[in-house]
């Protein structure tokens, strides 16, 4: 494990290892940041702040930076692109060096940073400026708060909805303008949409709820069992963030629905069919191999790119009769690393970034499937009037953050899918499988909470 990851990894074996890595880190910091520490801003009576943002293939200065620098002359934002693969390492290194950027753009769980005291809480700045937090979708605002304090501002997001192939519906004798509304509808429609060859091999499936981590991307990135659990009101984490519950009746109901669904099929044939699916232009929905899926908004672009003539529809995610629809949404966010030199100037830039008009202009300047975290921007006619986008925006009102147990986020979902797969394969009962997963996650969470308390106590002593 790389030394910088010990900062975020809850499963520290010993304090000694942290000390050793800390010493190694200090040496690296000197090498990496010697020149930055010596670098001085121009003497022009302006406040110069540094903004580090994640990039993929493009290194252009972000629209928001250019626009902010144009409309006022007291603050200058200097944008630095950080490669996708190295963003956490570079930002954390800067924080630990005592010479962090003033603003960072991130998408990993805020709590992973805030709990280690790597981010500056924003409540004092918000109070001073009378900042209105209700401009954000509730799921996104909840995601950037920890222990009742806000540590970031959400800027962009994306949600999920229910895609269905209208041509395949019509071929199966189903009404292409009447998509599945309930999970019972989904199961019923799927039987009618199933096609097999002369040897009984599946060549077209109506719907396949993912039950393994390996299905991510092939069958969408959402677990139907997790969606059903949210619809039933599951609460995985205690109010103090110290106790996890996975063997919950709401989740078991979702898992049992998945098991019952696959009882209609030969699981070996299903696995063989899934093994033949691909991504991109070979994705099962694009190639007419899958008639219905829960997919994120990026699939609108994928269909436009690879199969623009496709006759499909998008509607809200099904639920059981009487239950609400739900979706999932996380956020790209802006935060201030602890130790920033110009918090007021950084806060001015962050407030500017999330204004309605700026959010709309920024989204229009980019070619990606994200949409504004600002509710007023997302519902603005210039954005929501785009084809099918309104469905995804409406789903945001029912969205849940995938950051269920922030301090052990990755482990939670690994154990979740492991337990789900064992349940579907009949290796364990759902209750036993998720009780086992719960014990593993709880053990890691105990260590994470203990480590957080240690970090906080040591930080208070040093301060």
Both tokens of 222, joined, read: 């959402």
Which pTM does this prediction carry? 0.86
CB environment 100-124: b (16+ within 10 A), e (fewer): bbbbbbbebbbbbbbbbbbbbbbee
Instruction: Supply the mean pLDDT for the chain.
Output: 87
305-337 pLDDT, tens per residue?
Answer: 999 999 999 999 999 999 999 999 999 999 999
pLDDT digits (tens, 9 = 90+) for 18-73: 433 443 344 344 334 433 434 566 778 899 999 999 875 456 789 999 999 999 99
CB atoms closer than 10 angstroms to residue 141: 19
Q: Where in the chain is the domain with CATH 3.40.190.10?
A: 3-158+330-386, 160-328+410-448
Tell me if 333 sits within 8 A of 110, measured CB to CB: yes
Q: Confidence class of residue 87 from pLDDT cuts 50, 70 and 90?
A: confident
The CATH class, in words, for 3-158+330-386 is alpha beta
pLDDT band at 1 (very low <50, low <70, confident <90, very high): very low
pLDDT digits (tens, 9 = 90+) for 327-380: 999 999 999 999 999 999 999 999 999 999 999 999 988 877 789 999 999 999
Each residue's pLDDT tens digit, 426-438: 999 999 999 999 9
Residue 241 tokens, joined: 């963030």
Nearest to 340 by CA among 77, 44, 155, 70: 77
Q: Are strands 202-204 and 195-196 parallel, antiparallel or unpaired?
A: antiparallel
Identify the CATH homologous superfamily for domain 160-328+410-448. Periplasmic binding protein-like II (3.40.190.10)
> With 70 as the cut, is the pLDDT of residue 231 above it?
yes
């Amino acid at each position: 494990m790389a030394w910088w990851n010990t900062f975020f990894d809850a499963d520290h074996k010993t304090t000694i290892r942290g000390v050793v890595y800390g010493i190694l880190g200090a040496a690296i910091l000197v090498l990496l940041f010697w020149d930055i520490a010596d670098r001085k801003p121009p003497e022009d009576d302006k406040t110069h702040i540094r903004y580090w943002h994640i990039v993929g293939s493009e290194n252009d200065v972000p629209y928001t930076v250019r626009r902010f620098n144009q409309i006022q002359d007291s603050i200058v934002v200097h944008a630095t692109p950080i490669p996708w693969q190295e963003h956490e390492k570079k930002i954390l290194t800067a924080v630990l060096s005592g010479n962090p950027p003033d603003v960072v753009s991130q998408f990993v769980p805020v709590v992973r940073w805030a709990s280690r005291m790597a981010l500056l809480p924003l409540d004092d700045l918000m109070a001073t400026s009378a900042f209105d937090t209700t401009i954000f979708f509730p799921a996104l605002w909840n995601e950037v708060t920890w222990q009742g304090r806000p540590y970031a501002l959400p800027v962009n997001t994306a949600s999920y909805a229910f895609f269905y192939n209208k041509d395949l519906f019509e071929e199966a004798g189903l009404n292409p303008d009447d998509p599945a509304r309930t999970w019972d509808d989904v199961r019923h429609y799927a039987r009618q949409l199933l096609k097999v060859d002369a040897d009984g091999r599946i060549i077209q499936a109506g719907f396949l709820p993912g039950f393994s981590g390996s299905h991510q991307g092939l069958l969408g990135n959402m677990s139907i069992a997790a969606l059903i659990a949210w619809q039933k009101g599951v609460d995985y984490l205690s109010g103090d963030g110290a106790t996890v519950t996975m063997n919950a009746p709401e989740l078991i109901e979702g898992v049992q629905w998945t098991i019952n669904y696959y009882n209609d099929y030969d699981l070996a044939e299903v696995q063989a069919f899934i093994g033949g699916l691909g991504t991109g232009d070979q994705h099962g929905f694009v190639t007419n191999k899958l008639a219905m899926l829960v997919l994120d908004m990026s699939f609108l672009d994928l269909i436009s790119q690879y199969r623009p003539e496709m006759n499909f529809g998008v509607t809200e995610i099904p639920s059981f009769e009487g239950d609400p629809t739900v979706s999932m949404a996380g956020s790209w966010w802006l935060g201030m690393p602890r130790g920033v030199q110009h918090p007021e100037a950084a806060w001015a830039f962050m407030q500017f970034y999330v204004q309605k008009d700026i959010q709309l202009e920024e989204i229009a300047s980019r070619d990606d499937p994200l949409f504004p975290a600002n509710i007023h921007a997302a519902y603005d006619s210039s954005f929501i009037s785009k084809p099918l986008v309104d469905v995804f925006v409406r789903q945001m009102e029912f969205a849940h953050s995938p950051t269920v147990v922030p301090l052990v986020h990755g482990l939670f979902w690994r154990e979740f899918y492991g337990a789900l797969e064992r349940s579907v394969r009949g290796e364990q009962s759902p209750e036993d499988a998720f009780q086992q997963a719960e014990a593993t996650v709880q053990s890691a969470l105990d260590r994470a909470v203990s480590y957080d308390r240690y970090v906080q106590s040591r930080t208070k002593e040093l301060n």
